[in-house]
Chain A
Amino acid sequence: RKEVEQDPGPFNVPEGATVAFNCTYSNSASQSFFWYRQDCRKEPKLLMSVYSSGNEDGRFTAQLNRASQYISLLIRDSKLSDSATYLCVRVGDSGYSTLTFGKGTMLLVSP
């Protein structure tokens, strides 16, 4: 089982829809995660951090489910500009932490 797994999609949704992605992880000791966003042919950019208590930022909500070892990203009221690939990222546990990136889930929002 890969360390961080995501459904590659694409998820095709109309504007205004609510969409959710999950990301599963294999290391039960994992504590911290990020969601990054990557637009086509651009660099990844941080979307939000995922705290154990969950995290909400406007239309975006991230949750961590330790019992089932997955994190989720919920996007409400989708906009055309939300079309991108969303990368699930696990933060390493050592003192010098590296990040482990999932392969990403593609979202396409249509008019």
Chain B
Amino acid sequence: NAGVTQTPKFQVLKTGQSMTLQCAQDMNHNSMYWYRQDPGMGLRLIYYSASEGTTDKGEVPNGYNVSRLNKREFSLRLESAAPSQTSVYFCASSELAGGLAKNIQYFGAGTRLSVL
């Protein structure tokens, strides 16, 4: 009954360090998403993968890279972290196969990242 699992839950980085946020889903969903959430800004889409083997930029992709490793896993990489990337990061997945219900996105518990 895991749903969407994100690791790590918390991370502190120094400016310029790199790290990868991991996300895995066990619902056999086709699509996966990475968002960031900042106070007063709401959820903003960073990258998404509509299906295995494809990735697309969202609203705020600069400074990030993604990899859809397989159908279950979608990772987000910060190559050179900056203080502006301090945020809460959420991974989500959806079935996305037509029909309103298929667009429902299920979220992981989030990663709280601080860049000093």
By beta carbon, the residue of chain A nearest B42 is A103
By beta carbon, the residue of chain B nearest A45 is B107
Whether B100 is near chain A, meaning CB under 8 Å from some CB there, is yes
Contacts of A44 in B (CB 8 A): 43, 90, 107
Whether B48 is near chain A, meaning CB under 8 Å from some CB there, is yes
B42 and A43 contacting across the interface, CB-CB below 8 Å: no
Nearest CB of chain A from residue B25's CB, rounded to whole Å: 13
Residues of B within 8 A of A (CB-CB), count: 23
Interface string of A19-51 (1 = CB under 8 A from B): 000000000000010100000001111100101
A32 and B103 contacting across the interface, CB-CB below 8 Å: yes
Q: Which applies to chain A's interface (DSSP): helix, strand, loop or mixed?
A: loop
A49 in complex: contacting residue of B33, B42, B101, CB < 8 Å: B101
B42 and A102 contacting across the interface, CB-CB below 8 Å: yes
A87 and B43 contacting across the interface, CB-CB below 8 Å: yes
B105 and A43 contacting across the interface, CB-CB below 8 Å: no
Whether B104 is near chain A, meaning CB under 8 Å from some CB there, is yes
Interface string of A40-71 (1 = CB under 8 A from B): 00111110010100000000000000000000
Bound together, the chains give a CA A49 to CA B94 distance in angstroms of 15
Bound together, the chains give a CA A32 to CA B90 distance in angstroms of 23
Whether B31 is near chain A, meaning CB under 8 Å from some CB there, is yes
Interface residues of A (CB under 8 A from B): 32, 34, 42-46, 49, 51, 87, 91, 96-99, 101-104
